């Protein structure tokens, strides 16, 4: 798409500059940006990530490429919320209906058997953790695939979850505690 007018509605465009202009930017270098029509523009709207050094500064590009080769993303603070059955199909339909781009690499999921692997390994994890309920004050083991949670009862002393997570790190396993 070159211009917002090609979208069914401006409601599909992010708030901010997208509300002030009909253009879609495709390239940036220093203080300049280019739109899909190839027009070069002096960028007086540059965001916080480019204000000091400009768009695509070579040292920043090099640092990002180096980091992306090592680790692209770590867990944020959002936790895990498994979507209900049919959610992704519904989301896909809504995006198609309203001309909104949806990026989900279902080809990679299929080619690499990602969902099958997560399901099989998740079942193993849940089974193993459920067995531990006989030995430890675990109220519940729940989740989908490898998004699994363990809930301890109130008798567990403060700091126990942190100690469990630290012990797991020593054995090569990284966990995300919620308390």
Residue 61 lies in a domain: yes
121 and 61 in a single domain? The answer is no
Domain count, the chain: 2
CA–CA gap between residue 3 and residue 138 (Å, rounded): 55
Stretch 76-91: mean pLDDT, rounded?
78
Residue 90 lies in a domain: no
| Digit-coded pLDDT (tens) for 99-129 | 888 877 677 778 888 889 889 999 999 999 9
pTM tops 0.85:
no
Name the one residue in this structure whose structure tokens are 């990026």.
Answer: 103
Residue 57 lies in a domain: yes
48 lies in which domain range?
A: 4-73
Per-residue pLDDT band for 97 (boundaries 50, 70, 90) equals very high
Q: Is the distance from CB of 1 to CB of 12 less than 8 angstroms?
A: no
Residue 136 lies in a domain: yes
66 and 118 in a single domain? The answer is no
Contacts of 101 (CB under 8 A, 6+ apart): 95
Helices (H) and strands (E) in the chain, counts: 6, 5
Residue 91 lies in a domain: no
Sequence-ordered strand ranges (E) for 101-173: 138-144, 147-152
């Amino acid at each position: 798409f070159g211009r917002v007018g090609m979208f069914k509605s401006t409601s599909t465009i992010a708030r901010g500059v997208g509300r002030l202009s009909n253009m879609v930017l495709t390239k940036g270098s220093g203080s300049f940006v280019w739109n899909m029509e190839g027009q070069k523009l002096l960028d007086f709207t540059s965001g916080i990530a480019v204000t000091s050094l400009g768009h695509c500064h070579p040292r920043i590009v090099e640092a990002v490429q180096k980091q992306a080769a090592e680790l692209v993303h770590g867990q944020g603070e959002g936790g895990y919320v498994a979507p209900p059955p049919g959610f992704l199909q519904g989301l896909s339909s809504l995006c198609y209906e309203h001309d909104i781009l949806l990026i989900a690499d279902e080809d990679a999921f299929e080619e690499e058997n990602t969902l099958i692997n997560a399901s099989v390994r998740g079942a193993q994890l849940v089974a193993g953790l459920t067995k531990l309920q006989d030995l430890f004050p675990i109220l519940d083991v729940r989740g989908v695939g490898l998004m699994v949670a363990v809930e301890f009862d109130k008798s567990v002393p403060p700091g126990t979850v942190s100690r469990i997570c630290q012990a797991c790190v020593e054995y090569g396993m990284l966990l995300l505690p919620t308390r």
